[in-house]
Amino acid sequence: MTRLIYASTRQADMRYAIGMDFVDAFFYLETESEKLIFLDQREIGVFAEKNENQDLKGVLNAELARQASEKKLKTSNENGLALQIIKTYCAENEAVCVPEYFPLGMADFLRSQGVKIQTQNSFFPNREIKNEKEVSYIRENIAKTTKAFRRIEEILRASSIKDDHLIFEDQRLTSEFVKKECDRILLEEDMFNDMNIIISSGPHTAHPHHHGEGCLQPHVPIICDIFPRSRKNGYFADMTRTYVKGKPSEMFEEMYEAVLAAQQEAFKNIKAGVKAKDVHTAVSQIFTQRGFHIGDVGFVHGTGHGLGLEVHEQPFINATSESVLQAGNIVTVEPGLYYPDHGGIRIEDVVLVTKDGCENLTNYPKEFLIR
């Protein structure tokens, strides 16, 4: 079936299809016999220079755009170009498959011109199975990300406790300062954050995606969740550690031990052929056996998710997942516990699913107490 995408390479499917980055949206067309991308004069030369995929051909879209313009269609230039591409390269009356994120206005226009449009949920299912090059990219990205965690630990070790604050270099240590330090380290490694880093402490840690703000506190968890993208290869890393500077309460110690045990249980269960939701069930049982809750408090989210050109992608490891793990999946394993009156704990590693188990790609220690 003929497939059509209109997007920039910030859309993961498009980045996967062409293997390089372009700022503006453009068209990708895949038929039974060829794979084409349609670019203007600004990008066609860059594509010709950088393209390593012999099956992918670049087409200068100027002539197609001129032909579309001559038809005097009362629509946008992009819609007119889409129609001209389909009329030129697709068989008459052939259905065109587009992804669910395809522009609605463009789809409506094409349908009004007699084009049969169908949608497909997972446009490139093979994105879930990483090849050797993709595995090496993600492994490298994680190694670079660990350097930010080393810097966090250096800062916490060098900090002192004064009342309910941490002091670093004669200043109150804040979430914002630590984030800037992480950004600096990551930029030196050619990594960047599409979204805000999570450096949260105290009550903020009870909310899994609270990015953190203000002063970091002693004796309570500090959740550090960093998920940068490589400028070079386009793939993400994802890693979380939870620290305490000072003396944690007995409850926090028990929560940390439970989260660590739950993660180890996930590692034991992950292998090709296992249902993703069964891994989540095994993790949940560790928590309930230790007296913690599942649902609105306690363990409130899934065990993990796929990682690649998106920070959250298939397969998902949660209670409702229909996925069966396959060799070559790269997934996060990030159990956590969260209680609004206390705080939260989360630990996250990234693993490669294999035939007989999994390989942890996050080669970094888990240190809870920072002296």
Asked if residue 198 has pLDDT above 90, the reply is yes
The CATH number of the domain holding residue 13 is 3.40.350.10
- DSSP assignment of 66-89 equals HHHHHTT-SS-HHHHHHHHHHHHH
pLDDT at 160: 98
227 close to 143: Cβ distance less than 8 angstroms: no
pLDDT digits (tens, 9 = 90+) for 223-251: 999 999 999 999 999 999 999 999 999 99
Please give the span between the terminal C-alpha atoms of the chain, in angstroms, as a whole number.
60
- 8 Å CB contact between 213 and 190: no
At residue 212, the pLDDT reads 98
Q: What is the pLDDT of residue 247?
A: 97
CB 277 within 8 A of CB 319: yes
% of the chain residues with pLDDT over 90: 96
Question: What pLDDT score was predicted for residue 121?
Answer: 83
The residue count of the chain comes to 371
Both 99 and 24 in a single domain?
yes
State the pLDDT at residue 73.
87
- List, for residues 291-335, the tens digit of each pLDDT value: 999 999 999 999 999 999 999 999 999 999 999 999 999 999 999
Q: Is the pLDDT of residue 275 over 90?
A: yes
pLDDT band at 270 (very low <50, low <70, confident <90, very high): very high
Q: Which one, of 294, 225, 219, lies nearest residue 262 by Cα? A: 294
Do residues 250 and 179 share a domain?
yes
Query: What is the C-alpha to C-alpha distance for residues 371 and 154, in angstroms, rounded to an integer?
Result: 10
E strands, 182-275, in order? 191-192, 198-201, 222-226, 229-230, 239-245
* pLDDT at residue 1, as a whole number: 82
* Count: domains in the chain: 2
117 and 137 assigned to the same domain: no
- Looking at residue 120, what is its pLDDT? 87
Whole-model pTM?
A: 0.94
Query: b/e per residue, 130-165, with b = 16+ CB within 10 A?
Result: beeebbebbbbbbebbbbbbebbbebbeebeeeeeb
Contact 243, 146 (CB under 8 A): no
What's the DSSP call for residue 267? H
State whether 144 and 103 are in the same domain: no
Residue 194, pLDDT score? 83
Q: pLDDT grade, residue 210 (50/70/90)?
A: very high
Token code pair at residue 26: 């453009």
Same domain, 9 and 147: no
Question: 109 and 18: one domain?
Answer: yes
* pLDDT tens digits, 71-111: 988 899 999 999 999 999 998 889 999 999 999 999 999 99
Range of the domain at 44: 2-123
Identify the domain boundary among 77, 108, 123. Answer: 123
What whole-number distance in Å separates Cα of residue 351 and Cα of residue 268?
A: 12
C-alpha closest to that of 243 among 191, 178, 288, 293: 178
Q: Residue 260 — very low, low, confident or very high, per pLDDT cuts 50/70/90?
A: very high
User: Do 112 and 157 share a domain, yes or no?
Assistant: no
| Mean local confidence (pLDDT), 188-216 | 96
Per-residue pLDDT tens over the stretch 185-197? 999 999 999 888 9
What are the distances in angstroms from CA 69 to CA 43, 82, 116, 143, 234? 21, 12, 22, 50, 35
Strands 2-7 and 26-30: antiparallel
